């Protein structure tokens, strides 16, 4: 189940004895913890809520808490954070974890305790006996990064619940400026809600004023202008980046990275890979792949490669000479526009 469904279930049904919250999206991990905390009345949390970081605390401490009876309450909540022993990660240090005791506990969980494993990892090591035992009894909650569509839906739904609306253009701008990263979207929505507290309406102009464009976003516009061989716009965008105190080497490095990605996309899509497969293979956010695929459909591999090689040449010159970066970029554009 996802975190939204978890929150609904905890309000209407008795909680399970063991949960596994698995995934690297921190904002979803935090939302799940908030939902679990609602199980314990606020005035009982000091005595009936325990949170243990497995990177600094022995597992035995969490298990001792889990088998204890609630103190003047009906339920105890025990959260085991970063249980790296469920993965294939190797950790040094002197902390010893009694995994046999955990296996024994999972076979007979304490009925008045809700034990939550908050695992901020992509996956667990399914070969381990302990992981197999955990999956038998735990309710699985996904905290994996949301895709673009799900991120949009969650943002709109959350705003609606809080009495806010966001128009289509504003949501599109928010997605673009955060690369559809749900964590970044949520962080910026919190600021936008403050700005829109009077009429509860979030507009595109508000997003443009409050949510900064990343260097990658600005460079993406420049990439498009370069590929279209639009010299005036390319030079204007390059000058804007310099004026915003971005270093020439940094700008050029991002340009090289963007063109490398476009070349990879062009080759992989030619081999029949889907958008999702490409994102997984390149370890790139699906939204960046989506935008990149829109671009590469319009241009040949030769044009992409010529731009990439020209920018690599600029990088070498910037590192070995004191020549003016803006002049180097102008010369690159002149040569590039003359190529077939």
What is the CATH number that goes with domain 148-210? 1.10.8
Domain with CATH 3.40.50.300 in the chain: 3-142
DSSP assigned state of 141: E
CB atoms within 10 A of CB 30: 15
Is-contact 23 118, C-beta < 8 A?
no
* Whole-prediction pTM: 0.72
Residue 92 binned pLDDT confidence (cut-offs 50, 70, 90): low
Look at 22-26, 84-88, 140-144, 272-276 and tell me which has the smallest mean pLDDT. Answer: 272-276
Q: CATH top-level class for 215-338? A: mainly alpha
- Give the helix/strand (H/E) hosting 25: none
221-270: pLDDT as tens digits: 888 888 888 888 888 888 888 887 788 888 888 889 889 999 999 898 88
DSSP assigned state of 198: T
Q: Is 327 exposed, middle or buried (0-12, 13-18, 19+ CB in 10 A)?
A: exposed
Higher-pLDDT residue of 338 and 191 is: 191
Check whether 306 has a pLDDT greater than 80.
yes
Check whether 340 has a pLDDT greater than 70.
no
The residue-averaged pLDDT of 60-89 equals 89
Is-contact 187 155, C-beta < 8 A?
no
* CATH fold for domain 3-142: Rossmann fold (3.40.50)
Domain with CATH 1.10.8 in the chain: 148-210
Q: How is the beta sheet containing 49-53 ordered, strand by strand?
A: 49-53, 76-81, 113-119, 18-22, 139-142
Question: What is residue 93's predicted lDDT score, i.e. its pLDDT?
Answer: 65
Question: What is residue 120's predicted lDDT score, i.e. its pLDDT?
Answer: 93
Higher-pLDDT residue of 45 and 284 is: 45
Q: Which two tokens stand for residue 237?
A: 């965008």
The residue-averaged pLDDT of 263-292 equals 84
């Amino acid at each position: 189940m996802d975190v939204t469904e978890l929150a609904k279930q905890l309000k209407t049904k008795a909680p399970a004895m063991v949960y596994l919250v698995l995934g690297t999206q921190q904002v979803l991990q935090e939302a799940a913890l908030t939902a679990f905390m609602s199980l314990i009345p606020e005035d009982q949390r000091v005595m009936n809520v325990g949170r243990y970081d497995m990177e600094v605390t022995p597992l035995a401490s969490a298990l001792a808490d889990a088998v204890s009876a609630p103190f003047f309450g009906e339920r105890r909540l025990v959260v085991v954070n970063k249980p790296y022993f469920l993965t294939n990660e190797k950790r040094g240090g002197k902390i010893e974890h009694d995994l046999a005791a955990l296996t024994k506990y999972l076979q007979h969980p304490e009925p008045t305790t809700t034990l939550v494993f908050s695992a901020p990892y992509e996956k667990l090591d399914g070969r381990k006996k302990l992981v197999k035992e955990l999956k038998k009894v735990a309710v699985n909650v996904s905290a994996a990064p949301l895709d673009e569509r799900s991120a949009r839906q969650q943002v709109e739904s959350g705003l609606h619940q809080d009495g806010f609306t966001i128009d289509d253009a504003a949501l599109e701008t928010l997605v673009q400026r955060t690369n559809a990263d749900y964590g970044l979207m949520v962080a910026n929505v919190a600021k936008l809600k403050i700005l829109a507290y009077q009429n509860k309406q979030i507009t595109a102009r508000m997003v443009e004023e409050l949510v900064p464009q990343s260097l990658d976003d600005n460079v993406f516009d420049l990439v498009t202008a370069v590929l279209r061989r639009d010299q005036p716009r390319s030079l204007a965008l390059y000058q804007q980046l310099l004026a915003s105190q971005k270093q020439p080497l940094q700008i050029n490095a991002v340009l090289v990275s963007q063109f490398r990605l476009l070349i990879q996309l062009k080759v992989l899509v030619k081999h029949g890979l889907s958008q999702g497969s490409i994102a997984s293979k390149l370890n790139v956010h699906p939204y960046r792949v989506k935008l990149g695929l829109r671009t590469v459909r319009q241009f040949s591999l030769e044009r992409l490669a010529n731009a990439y090689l020209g920018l690599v040449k600029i990088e070498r010159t910037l590192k070995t000479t004191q020549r003016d970066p803006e002049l180097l970029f102008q010369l690159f554009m002149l040569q590039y526009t003359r190529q077939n």
